[in-house]
Structure 1
């Protein structure tokens, strides 16, 4: 049976849980061959097995997207093994919360590395392939989706650096959209509100007890509170 994304290839960084996992399964259900990217290989293998059991095609790519060379190699692996790249959904993210005065700097660095650098590295590595795919895509277009947050539009106490990263994602995505809008690559940003994921298990103990409840997606590639 031919579905909307038949004969296309999708890449989902941050696919090992939550929104990333659900996105990968939805893309596969629509006929795309899906590459699931992250550091938690066991979870990615479990997801790939589910996709295959449901009749889809899945490729597991283990990489740390905060490393530019690994991010570029991961995209290259997808194209080499699946033949093209039509869709990218950048879901990987990390959120640390707390007052600026006592927040650990390492947490800020993690947010910048994953939410900004990792996203930029994947965008940079994938864009040329998306532009090529758009020229002969069965749909006539390619898609690049950056997952941001409502925190990219409204700043609140306790989430200052997270706000910084997501405001930045929104601005970058809009500029990129304008650059390629005439080349049949659709660039979009999605801004989830509060989502029931495993995020709370990654917050520092003191912060977890007092909140705040803020928006975030699911998988935290590279720095998800678990051993690498």
Structure 2
């Protein structure tokens, strides 16, 4: 299997690709901004051109410049909608025709536990984008009962990533970093959930997985 890594920061994905290769795997990279439909289309076209097929697309891009709605930070609202929601839609638009043509494909999106049991203060727009992704997944699933396309939504809790860096409110950013330091689990936990979902037989679909620290409320 070949992993094609895509992100805006080439140095980050180049480093990950090199680590995969050092472990005996195969990996290539492509610089992509998911808010630009043409970038995602280019990623899919390049992958198909080099390898002939795409078995799985993992939508992982996400930002969280969260703040109370009363702050009226409409720029951050738009940014979250563009990355978290439009980015996922751009992925669907780019890859769905290939899945249909080859007769199989698996869409995996990294969502969030935010909003699963009520929206926390300051997270209204972020939770709205993530729940919209969950709803889109269910819609695609209902349109794909012919067995061609499988969908999986994976919702992480506190994971040791740099998501807090995208938070513009200093207080919220610092508290989130403290929570991650105190209880965050490694990104590998989410990777294992992705692997579990995509390794199922073709007639088995894992629709949703929640992955959170055991101590997270």
Q: Using structure 2 for the length normalisation, give the TM-score.
A: 0.76
Task: Select which of 58, 71, 88 maps to 1:102.
Answer: 71
Given candidates 57, 77, 85, the residue that maps to 2:26 is 57
User: Residue in 2 aligned with 1:202?
Assistant: 166
Q: Secondary structure at the match of 1:190?
A: strand
Using the TM superposition, give the Cα deviation of residue 163 of structure 1 relative to its aligned residue in structure 2, in angstroms.
Answer: 1.0
SS in 1 for 2:165: helix
SS at match of 2:14: helix
Query: Which of 171, 181, 194 is matched with 2:145 structurally?
Result: 181
Could you list the structure 1 runs, at least 4 aligned residues long, displaced by more than 4 angstroms after superposition: 210-215
Q: 5 Å matches for 1:54-133?
A: 54-133=23-102
Contact 2:44 2:94 in 1 (8 A): yes
| Selected match of 2:108 from 134, 145, 157 | 145
After superposition, the C-alpha distances for 1:10-68 in whole angstroms (9 at most, x for unaligned) are: xxxxxxxxxxxxxxxxxxxxxx2111001100111111111111111111010111011
> What SS class does the counterpart of residue 183 from structure 1 fall into?
coil
CA distance in 2, matches of 1:155, 1:121: 26
Q: Please say if residues 152 and 170 of structure 1, whose CA atoms lie closer than 8 Å, have aligned partners that are also in contact.
A: no
Q: CA deviation at 1:152?
A: 4.3
CA RMSD of aligned residues (A): 2.2
Contiguous gaps of at least 5 residues in structure 2: 188-217
What TM-score comes out, normalization by structure 1 length? Answer: 0.73
2:131 to 149, 163, 167: 167
Q: Deviations over 1:100-119 (max 9, x none)?
A: 11152211111000001111
Shift of 1:181: 2.4
Q: How does 1:31-50 map to 2 (within 5 A)?
A: 32-50=1-19
Asked if 1 retains the 8 angstrom alpha-carbon contact of 2:99 and 2:148, the reply is no
1:7 equivalent in structure 2: none
Which of structures 1 and 2 has the larger relative contact order (alpha carbons within 8 angstroms, sep 6+)?
1
Q: Count the aligned residue pairs.
A: 180
